[in-house]
Each structure stands twice: as structure tokens, then as C-alpha cells.
Structure 1
Amino acid sequence: MDLQLLAALVVGVAAIVLIVLRTRLDAFVALLVAALLTGFVAGSPLTDVLDSITDGFGSTMGAIGIVIGLGVGVGKVLEVSGAADALARAFVRLLGKGREPWAMAGTGAVVSIPVFCDSGYVIMNPLARSIARRKRAGYVTLALALGCGMTLTHHLVPPTPGPLGVAGILGADVGGLILAGLAIALVLLPVVVLYARWIGPRLEAHVLPEIREEVYGTTARAATTAATPAHPVTSSGTGGAAAPDGPGSTTEDAIEGATEDATEGPAASEREPRRMSAWLAAVPLLVPLVLIVANTVATAVDRNTQGVLTGDDYTPAGYAAVLGFVGSPVVALLIGIVLAVYLLLPRATPRNQVGSWLAQAAASAGLIILITGAGGAFGKVLRDTGVGDELAETIAAWSLPGVLVPFLIATLVRLAQGSGTVAMITAASVTAPLVAGLGISPLVAAIACCAGSMVFSYFNDSYFWVVTRFTGLDGVAALRGWSGITTAAWLASLPLVLLAGAVL
């Protein structure tokens, strides 16, 4: 491998770690500094590095910036209207006590098959917050389970764009990859939930104060401070936001026995206490999701009809073109926020009050959007400097069991530049001419590319910033929680990849 490119990668990652953990500067600045240092050490002209930063930031914002803004707006209306609480009550009653992390992981896995992780997480996060608020504990567990449940199917199951592109490049059967990806995701789901349940209570005390107050309200914060001033992790394992109901209480007791005062969110004092149907509450969530799913399915069917799986030569036609418009995340969420405002809020709600709530949502989304864009900028610099390609070519030259070659290429490219989709596509591109010589089938190679790309989501992954900022984790806590759970899923997938290599 080119040592200069390796040094560029090391310097960039080290800069992020040092700035985030040891200075008063935030992650947005750290990512931009790392991007500049990486490009400089790699030997790229400074003007090219600046172009990569602006291109990466702009393309990331074009893909997710508007979606985050609209999604946070929908979430705010769900919160202040009482709709999120209604959904939480119905959600927990349906699934039973003690199974909330399983429910969030499973829901995330289903939602993320057609929806990008970033969009899906923004849409579903209010449910995790509302359930945690009702239980008075467990938000980190729920948030991590939801996020990594989405990661599993986003990386493994077509018609998510990454796996679909891998199938096209390698010539793998899309139907076979869907079945294999679903089977692997189902096996990995318990790993995700168990890790989230193990690490979540240990990280509750590390949730940023503003996020803790948004989730649990001032009552929970005061109760936590009074209960555990010196030892934030309690013996019952609920972390710094220990439930005031006691270790013997049940989820149903917490939900049914909670008063409006005890379940206040950040804006609960601003809204009228009101009950509503869970079905009505779900409309602003379900309509955007259904539209996005319909767009994904219609596009996949239309691509198959036209015989085009990848490439820029595809042009949607007929119903696929219509659904491609209304089912785009931007339009779908725009419809969702209109439905939220006019269906969930009382008719007497003043216009300026609605505007105030949406302004609060925009303010909370601002830093998330900036950090997400900076993560995209850093990833773009890493790609443009050739670090990912150099790693891929190096690992492909090693003498390894055939199925491990695409797996490790995807792993190293993911570590180098952050995007799971780019990692699996790069691995598939490098592996495609090697498949016959490796003695594996195209389907096995596709599975390996997809599974290998799940490893250690960290600073150069825009989804890392979406999950950790919404969860309220920073620094080492973010690495232990989110980077840890994605690595656990990646590690658990390795024996499944080896088994697929032996069987398929």
C-alpha cells in the first residue's frame, strides 16, 4: 500500500479523535480540519481538496439535509400534539412489557429496507423518545437498537441501493440476495438487541444534558440528580435516568400510571393534554413511509422490466415516474409535515405557535445537518485522494479464503471513507473479475461485500452523526455505543459469511 495514503488516513482520523475528545471545538470543525489535513498529507493540490470538501458537503446535504429538517419538523409536531405518546402507548401494549428494544430493532429493520437509514431514523426516533419518556429510562438502549436494526437491512437487503448495485456488478441473483440478506439480518437482530441492552444502561449517564431534558423532561433530570449524585449508574442497571417507579415496576405500570406532568417532554408544557387515536397519530409517519416504499418497489420493478439494474441510463416511466416524485424522501416528508400540522394539532392552535414549534425543530436540526455534511465532506476527500482504492487493491492481493477477500475489502474501504454503500460497491467492483478465481459464487461474493461494509461506523460516516446526535452521545460514549454495536453486528456476520461460502 502507498504509505503516504496510509499516513493521510491515520492523520485524518487522529485529528478527529484529538479535536473531539481533547479540545473545546465541536465535531463539525474537527471533520473539516481532518479533511484538510488528509488531503494535504495525501499530496493533493489544496484547491482540489477544497473542491472535494465543498462537493462532499453539498452532495451530502442534497441527499439528507432537507430530509433531516422536514423529519425533525414532523417529530416536533408529533411531540407537542401528544401523537408520539399515543403511538408509544399503542406500541408497547401491542408488543408487551420488556420487549421494547426488540420492537425498535425489528421496526427499524423493516423500515430501512426501502428507506435510507438517515431518513428512517429521523422519522422513527420520536417513538424511541416517547417510549423512553414513558418508562423514565432506557433511551440509549432503544435508540441504538433502532439505529442498528436499520443498519442491518440497509446493508444486506435489496432494494436498498447498495446491495442492489452489488448484485448488478457481480451478476448475483437479486431474489437470492434478498432472501439471504433477510436470513442474515434475522440472525443478527438478537446480537444488536443484546448489545444495546448491555451498553445502553452504561451510557445513560453520558447522554448530553439537553437531549436528556428533551427525552425525559425536567422531572426525570431532577429525580436522577437526587437519586444518584455521585454514582450515575445504579445497581438496577438503568443508568443515570433511573426510573422513579423502582426496579420492580413494569412498562405497563409506567405507561398507565404516569400523569401528564410526569411525562412531559421539552414542549409538553406548551401543549394541551389530549388523547388521540394511535391510527390518527401514525398517519404523518405512515404516509411518507408508504410513499417511499412504493417508490422503491416501483423503481425496482421498472428497472427489472427495462433490464437496467445500475447505471445512469435508467429513466423511470409511467407509474414509476409518478411514484418517483411523490415517493422521494423530500416530497414524502413534505406531505408528512403538512398532514402532521393539519391532522394532529387542534384547529385553534395559533399560526405563530406552530411557527414557533417548527423554528425550535429547525434550531435542533441545524447542528445535526452541519455535522452530517462535514462527515460527507471528509468521506469525499478520502475517496478523491485514493485511500479507498489503494486499500482495496492491497487486500485483494493477499492470500486468503475466497469469501474473505470481498468481506475484508469492504471492511477496509468502509473504515477508510465511511460510506457503507461506497464500501460495498467498491468491494464488488474489485471482486467482480476475481470471483471465478476465488472459487465462490456471485451470490456469496455479494453477501460478503454487503456484510463487510457494516464495520465500525465512526467519525467519517454521516449516519454516525445522525444517530449519536439524536441519541445525545458524544466522544468515547458515542464510540462505545454506536461504533461498538455496528462492529458487533459486523463480527457476528463473519461466521455467517463463512457458512454461506461453504453452502451456497
Structure 2
Amino acid sequence: MVVLHTVIAIVLIILLIIRFKVDPVISLIIGSLYLGLATGVGFTATIVAIAAGFGEIMGEVGLLIGFGVLIGAMLHAMGAFRKMVTALVKGVGARRLPYALAAAMSTIFPSIYVDVQVVLGSPVVRATGPLIGRTGLPHMAGALGTGIFAGYVFVIPGLAAVSIAGLLHIPLGMWLIYGFLIGPVTALVTTLIFRLLLRGNYWKPDRDEVTDPALIELETTELVTEDTRTPPLFVCLLPILVPLVMIAFGAFAELFQFSNDFIAFLGDANFALFVGLLGAYLLCRGTLGLKGTNTAMGEGFHTTGEILLITGIGGSLGAVIGETGLDEILAGLFSADAAAPVILSILLAWFIAAVLHLAIGSVSVAAITAAGIIGPVLASISVSPLVIGLAIASGAMFALQVNSNFFWMFKALLGLSTQGTFKTLTMVTSIASVVSLPLVMAAALIA
């Protein structure tokens, strides 16, 4: 009954938002209350889980979102993203931009949180989308989404990739080789398939995009009037690049076991983004003066409110699901023995991770939970732990949707309707999950 009630809760949330136009905050709370009460979690425990889930997510990403949004607001206000767009178009051409973005996100940036990636990447997507054509925004949004998550689950030091490898005792060097091949290939092929899908009548801008500027999050004002007033592009990008380098250095220091307390401090994402925020503030003060900087920051502060609320309530739903014991039910499905075919074992690992993601709404939690479920029975499976781990990574990406706080961040920051977010983020993560599955099966031939 837990599985049934979880499905009902997710469908209820989707119907409330899509069919009855109920605000996502209210819809998510209603779904969380139903699930907790229907599965016997209890009145008090359900409320405690909702509050605890909200607080836990805020503790993890609250500062990251706030700092990231403010960095984006100030860089946009002083014309940095317009300068970046111009350089990108000149460098790779408008038509190749989605593929360049997908490749970069899946190879260069997995060392940082997905929440930070979407905050820093969304202004570029929204600025470059119109250059590609009518479906430019969804194509760029899809490339951003698939690039982020293909890197997150396959490429070291993506959190999900590192977590799976650790739980299944897979040598990171071996994972690095296979993951670095599967991740970018998955991102690029998915971006191409999604482009083919967009050629028809799939995308309807009037329904799938938020056309009212007042309703688009991070709709900050570009305050510079002359391009010459904006600092050089490399200088403009330092508030983004420096935090990325700091976070990546901290991750690799831990990976290769030369970290210490000071390195961990420098590599902490919250501190790194604060350094970026400080840099953006100083650049903005030098470019726009005190008044312009305060205007840009004021718009950034205005943006963060709804994003933080929806993000936190997405965490509340995940916490209630965690109280239902769904993971224990799924553990019973994995009873493969030494005679089980390789493909069956891969499909079962993929399926468990995919179902967990659909239920929990967190790629990393789904991946970690699936690895925890499957790890104890690895000895009875005639398949390499590396292959099972890659199958878990593939399944954990499947169909990111409304019970994920990332879904609502993506929607708000990219100026999409809920339906448009389903058509981009949910679709590309589904495609990427399916596209990567045969690549994992191919890896089984040599691993």
C-alpha cells in the first residue's frame, strides 16, 4: 500500500498543479500531508517530517541559492552575461551552443552542487535561447538539465558518482574512466534527440514559457548603458570561476586524501560562493556605483523568496516519503543470484534506482539508497560492481519531476511554466536515463 499511496500522492500533486492551477507550494504540502496520513506515519510525525525536511534542505542549499542568485543578479546588471553570450556565439555559433553547454556541464562542472550549476547557468540559457530561434529556450534548457545530471551521476567528483562508487567499493580510478566516457556521450546524444523532438509542435511558447517578465525569477535589470563600462569578460567571470576552482580543489583534495581542515574550509561550497559574491559585489560597485549595486542586490533578494520556499517544501515531501519505509519494500525486489543474466541484473538495478527517484525526488538520495539496497547482495550477482553502479547512476536520473526541489528551481530560474518544465527537464532526464542504459550494457562487455 505504501507504493500505491506514494503514486497517488505524486499524481495528486501533478493534477493540482497542472489541471487545477493550484500553487505548487500548496500542492506539495497537500501531497505530503496525504502521503504521511495515508501510509500510517501519523499526524504528529507527518508534520515533524514536513518541518524537518524543509529545514534540512534549507541547511544544505539555502545559502547556496541566496549567494548564487545575488551573484547572477549583479553580473547581469553590469552586462556580464551579455558579454558572455556574445563570446559564446562568436566562438561556437548559435546552433552549437546547446551541445557546448551540455558538454561543459557534464565534464567541467560536476564538482559543484547541481543547485549552484542551475543558478549560475540559467542566465546564460535565457540570454542565448532567443539567438537560436523559436525553440531556443527549451533546447538550451534541455542541454543545461541533461548536462548537469549526466555529469552528476557519472563523472567524478559528482556527488552521486562518488557516493555510488564508495558504497559499492568501486575504485574511483576505474569509475573515472568509464564515467567520463558515458557521461558526456549521454549528454550530447540526449541534446541531439531532444532537438529532433522540438522540430514538431511539441513546444508551445505561449503555454510552456512564462512570458510576463514580472513572473520570471531572476529578472534583473541590466544597468550598464555602454559595453565599454563592463569589465573584460574574464574579469566578469571570476565571481563564477573562482568558486568553481575552490570547490573543485576541495573535492579533489578529499578524493586524493591530502585534504585538511583549511583546505576543507576553502573548498566548502558556501564559503566559495560567498567569495564569489564578494567579488561580484566589488565589481558591481566599481562598475555601477553604490546606487546601481543596491538596485541589483534588491532585485536579487526579491528573487530568492519563492525559490527558497518551493525548494524547502520539495524537501518536505522527500522527508515524508522517507518515513514511509519505501526503501525496505524495494529491497525485496533484488533477489538475483549467480544464475541471473547480466542484462537482467543491470535492468533491475536501473529499475530500483529509477523508482526510488520517482518516489523520493532526489537523484543523489535515490542513487545512495539504491546502492545501499543492492550492495549487500553484490556477492551473489555475476556482474561487475562497476557495471551495477553505472546502472544505478543511469536509473537515478530518470524523470526528474515535481517532488524534486531542483524541478522548481529550474522552472523559476529559466522562466518556464510547470508544463514547460515537464517538457524540458523531466523529458531530457528521462531520455538521458534511457540513452545511458545501453552504454552501461556495452560497458558490461569489457568491465
**What is the TM-score with the length of structure 2 in the denominator?**
0.91
SS in 2 for 1:503: coil
**What is the TM-score with the length of structure 1 in the denominator?**
0.81
Q: 1:366 aligns with which of 305, 325, 334?
A: 305
Does residue 349 in structure 1 map to residue 289 in structure 2? Answer: yes
Does residue 376 in structure 1 map to residue 315 in structure 2? Answer: yes
> What is the CA distance between 1:213 and its match in structure 2?
8.5
Name 2:436's counterpart in structure 1.
Answer: 493
The answer as to whether partners of 1:395 and 1:408 remain within 8 angstroms in 2 is no
Matched AA of 2:188: P
> What is the CA distance between 1:212 and its match in structure 2?
9.1
Cα separation, 2, equivalents of 1:501 and 1:440: 8
Does residue 62 in structure 1 map to residue 1 in structure 2? Answer: no
Alignment of 1:304-315 (within 5 A): none
> What is the CA distance between 1:428 and its match in structure 2?
1.3
Name 1:308's counterpart in structure 2.
Answer: none
Alignment of 1:10-409 (within 5 A): 10-132=7-129, 138-199=136-197, 202-205=203-206, 206-211=208-213, 266-268=220-222, 270-275=223-228, 276-302=231-257, 317=260, 321-346=261-286, 349-350=289-290, 352-396=291-335, 401-409=344-352
Matched AA of 1:151: F
Name 1:424's counterpart in structure 2.
Answer: 367
The answer as to whether partners of 1:80 and 1:267 remain within 8 angstroms in 2 is yes
Deviations 1:337-382 (A, max 9, x none): 21112124445613x4322221211212211111111111101111
Task: Flag the 1:15–1:199 CA change in 2: closer, same or farther, 3 A.
Answer: same
Task: Flag the 1:493–1:136 CA change in 2: closer, same or farther, 3 A.
Answer: closer
The answer as to whether partners of 2:106 and 2:155 remain within 8 angstroms in 1 is no
Cα separation, 2, equivalents of 1:68 and 1:192: 27
Matched AA of 2:124: L
Alignment of 1:445-456 (within 5 A): 445-456=388-399
Cα separation, 1, equivalents of 2:15 and 2:2: 20
Does residue 482 in structure 1 map to residue 437 in structure 2? Answer: no
Task: Flag the 1:198–1:211 CA change in 2: closer, same or farther, 3 A.
Answer: farther
Task: Flag the 1:144–1:372 CA change in 2: closer, same or farther, 3 A.
Answer: same
Cα separation, 2, equivalents of 1:211 and 1:197: 26
Cα separation, 1, equivalents of 2:308 and 2:146: 20
> What is the CA distance between 1:97 and its match in structure 2?
4.0
Cα separation, 2, equivalents of 1:483 and 1:64: 21
Task: Flag the 1:348–1:97 CA change in 2: closer, same or farther, 3 A.
Answer: closer
> What is the CA distance between 1:280 and its match in structure 2?
1.3
Cα separation, 1, equivalents of 2:285 and 2:205: 32
> What is the CA distance between 1:266 and its match in structure 2?
5.0
Does residue 464 in structure 1 map to residue 418 in structure 2? Answer: no
Matched AA of 2:239: P
Task: Flag the 1:135–1:96 CA change in 2: closer, same or farther, 3 A.
Answer: closer
> What is the CA distance between 1:396 and its match in structure 2?
4.5
Deviations 1:195-252 (A, max 9, x none): 4434557243321123599699xxxxxxxxxxxxxxxxxxxxxxxxxxxxxxxxxxxx
How many residue pairs get aligned? The number is 436
Cα separation, 1, equivalents of 2:26 and 2:413: 19
Larger radius of gyration: 1
Cα separation, 1, equivalents of 2:197 and 2:304: 26
Moved over 6 A (4+): 212-216, 397-400
Cα separation, 2, equivalents of 1:6 and 1:476: 25
Matched AA of 2:236: A
What are the ranges of 5 or more consecutive residues in structure 1 without an aligned counterpart? 217-264, 306-315
Matched AA of 1:128: V
SS in 1 for 2:289: coil
Q: Percent identity?
A: 27
Cα separation, 2, equivalents of 1:461 and 1:139: 21
SS in 2 for 1:178: helix
Matched AA of 2:268: S
Matched AA of 2:294: G
Task: Flag the 1:396–1:476 CA change in 2: closer, same or farther, 3 A.
Answer: farther
Matched AA of 2:322: R
Cα separation, 1, equivalents of 2:217 and 2:205: 12
Cα separation, 1, equivalents of 2:6 and 2:183: 31
> What is the CA distance between 1:134 and its match in structure 2?
5.5
> What is the CA distance between 1:173 and its match in structure 2?
1.3
